[in-house]
């Protein structure tokens, strides 16, 4: 089995974005240390809208130049370790700006690509992909939607095909959430699904389709999992506190739902989730799944998660391979 450790490289989008240092630079350096130590590769889905805004504001606000330089340096460190740098789009950056003190994040009516017109979508996707391609000097071939909001894919298919994006990794089978910001429904995708080709709908396999969906592995988490997370966080805050220092965009109703009923959620290296990786990977491997995609966020890294992730890699390095997205062949 191939284990694809993927990370969405970004700030927070709630009232506090958090700092570049704590949300991105410090935790990512700890992840890159694992790549160095074990010779594994990771894939980083970079929130390009943020970089474009950093660059746009850096002239007027010199303090942002330092943030931009640190991020650029770290992306080059990722590449030096043969990690993959791919496209993550949070289009709300189009409406968000820096006021000299902090980023004012505007998400209402612009959180997902589907909130924009066809012409705007085309322009955003092309501009972001071009920026990343220029920065990395590599083709952009894989995509993960901000907040998993990749639907309806029919609105993205044409521009994706045009710029050479072949692979999407936004789907986690069984996942579903609707709110004023979020809108995704992956309940139609069979659980433990292998990668599949598709055309206009990310949930409907089409043989010889132009695109490949490489779903994020998912798992039915029982309420006890979230109760333990909640309790441990209070008992051992230093081990379970996220390194990122911002606040999440609200997901109304989500907390109550996970604490009261089993919910399909992603397999993740974030926080308390990382303790499940060994068991989950063994289960997928036993079912013959070829690609086990794990999602994480540097901002969501904890001391506990880092220990668990390292233990997972150390104990499985001879059993599984740990490639990046672009090492996979889709021909
Ligand atoms: Zn994101």
Tens digit of each residue's pLDDT (9 = 90 or more) over 122-172: 999 999 999 999 999 999 999 999 999 999 999 999 999 999 999 999 999
Average model confidence (pLDDT) across the chain: 96
Which of 3.20.20.370, 3.50.50.60, 3.50.40.10, 3.40.630.30 is the CATH number of 2-327?
3.20.20.370
Least confident of 21-30, 238-247, 283-292, 298-307: 238-247
What totals of helices (H) and strands (E) does the chain contain, helices first?
11, 14
From residue 17, give the alpha-carbon distance in Å to each of 72, 137, 222, 254, 288: 19, 28, 30, 21, 40
321 CA distance to ligand 1 middle (Å): 25
| Digit-coded pLDDT (tens) for 262-282 | 999 999 999 999 999 999 999
Per-residue pLDDT, 249: 86
Mean pLDDT of 309-323: 98
Q: What is the pTM of this model?
A: 0.97
Compute φ and ψ for 239, nearest 5 degrees. -85, -25
| Digit-coded pLDDT (tens) for 171-230 | 999 999 999 999 999 999 999 999 999 999 999 999 999 999 999 999 999 999 988 888
Cα separation, 156 vs 213, in Å, equals 14
As a residue count, the chain comes to 331
Query: If pLDDT is split at 50, 70 and 90, which confidence band does 258 have?
Result: confident
For every residue of 186-226, DSSP letters joined together read -TTSPTT---EEESS-TTSB-TT-SEEE-PBPEEEE-HHHH
Per-residue pLDDT, 256: 80
185 CA distance to ligand 1 middle (Å): 17
12 CA distance to ligand 1 middle (Å): 8
Which residues sit with Cβ closer than 5 angstroms to ligand 1, an ion?
Answer: 8, 10, 146
Q: Is the confidence at residue 331, as pLDDT, over 70?
A: no
H-helix segments, 95-154: 118-136
219 CA distance to ligand 1 middle (Å): 20
Cα separation, 171 vs 187, in Å, equals 10
113 CA distance to ligand 1 middle (Å): 13
149 CA distance to ligand 1 middle (Å): 10
Q: Is the confidence at residue 330, as pLDDT, over 80?
A: no
How many other C-beta atoms can be found within 10 angstroms of the C-beta atom of residue 81? 17
147 CA distance to ligand 1 middle (Å): 6
89 CA distance to ligand 1 middle (Å): 7
223 CA distance to ligand 1 middle (Å): 25
Please say whether the beta carbons of 302 and 273 come within 8 A: no
Query: Which among 93, 203, 89, 81 has a CA at the least distance from the CA of 140?
Result: 89
Query: If pLDDT is split at 50, 70 and 90, which confidence band does 329 have?
Result: confident
Per-residue pLDDT, 250: 83
257 CA distance to ligand 1 middle (Å): 22
**Angle (CA) 174 175 181, round 5°:** 155
246 CA distance to ligand 1 middle (Å): 13
Task: Give the single-character DSSP code of 321.
Answer: B
10 CA distance to ligand 1 middle (Å): 6
Tell me the percentage of the chain whose pLDDT exceeds 70: 100
Per-residue pLDDT, 20: 97
Domain boundaries, the chain: 2-327
Mean pLDDT of 243-263: 87
The two structure tokens encoding residue 70: 């640190």
11 CA distance to ligand 1 middle (Å): 8
291 CA distance to ligand 1 middle (Å): 21
Query: Which among 50, 47, 46, 48 has a CA at the least distance from the CA of 77?
Result: 46
Per-residue pLDDT, 180: 92
64 CA distance to ligand 1 middle (Å): 21
Q: Which residues of 278-317 are buried (b: 16+ CB within 10 A; e: fewer)?
A: eebbebbbeeebebbbbbbbbbbbbebbbebbbebbeebe
| Digit-coded pLDDT (tens) for 103-120 | 999 999 999 999 999 999
């Amino acid at each position: 089995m191939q284990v694809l450790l993927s990370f969405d490289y970004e700030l927070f989008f709630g009232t506090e974005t958090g700092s570049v240092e704590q949300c991105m630079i410090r935790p990512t350096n700890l992840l890159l240390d694992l790549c160095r130590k074990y010779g594994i590769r990771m894939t980083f889905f970079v929130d390009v809208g943020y970089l474009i805004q950093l660059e746009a504001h850096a002239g007027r606000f010199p303090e942002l130049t330092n943030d931009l330089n640190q991020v650029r340096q770290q992306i080059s460190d990722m590449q030096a370790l043969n990690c993959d740098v791919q496209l993550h789009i949070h289009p709300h950056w189009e409406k968000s700006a820096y006021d000299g003190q902090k980023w004012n994040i505007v998400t209402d009516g612009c959180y997902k690509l589907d909130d924009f017109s066809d012409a705007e979508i085309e322009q955003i996707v092309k501009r972001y992909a071009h920026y990343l391609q220029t920065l990395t000097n590599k083709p952009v071939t894989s995509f993960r939607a901000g907040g998993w909001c990749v639907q309806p894919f029919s609105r993205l298919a044409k521009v994706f095909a045009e710029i050479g994006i072949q692979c999407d990794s936004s789907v986690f089978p069984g996942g579903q959430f609707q709110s004023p910001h979020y809108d995704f429904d992956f309940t139609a995708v069979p659980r433990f699904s292998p990668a599949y080709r598709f055309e206009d709908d990310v949930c409907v396999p089409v043989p010889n389709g132009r695109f490949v969906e490489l779903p994020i592995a998912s798992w039915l988490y029982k309420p006890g999992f979230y109760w333990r997370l909640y309790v441990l966080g209070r008992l051992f805050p230093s081990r379970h506190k996220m390194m990122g220092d911002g606040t999440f965009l609200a997901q109304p109703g989500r907390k109550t739902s996970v604490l009261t009923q089993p919910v399909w959620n992603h397999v993740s290296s974030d926080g308390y989730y990382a303790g499940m990786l060994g068991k989950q990977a063994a289960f997928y491997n036993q079912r013959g799944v070829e690609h086990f995609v794990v999602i994480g966020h540097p901002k969501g890294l904890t001391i506990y998660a880092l220990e668990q992730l390292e233990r997972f890699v150390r104990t499985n390095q001879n059993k599984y391979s740990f490639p990046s997205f672009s090492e996979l062949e889709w021909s």
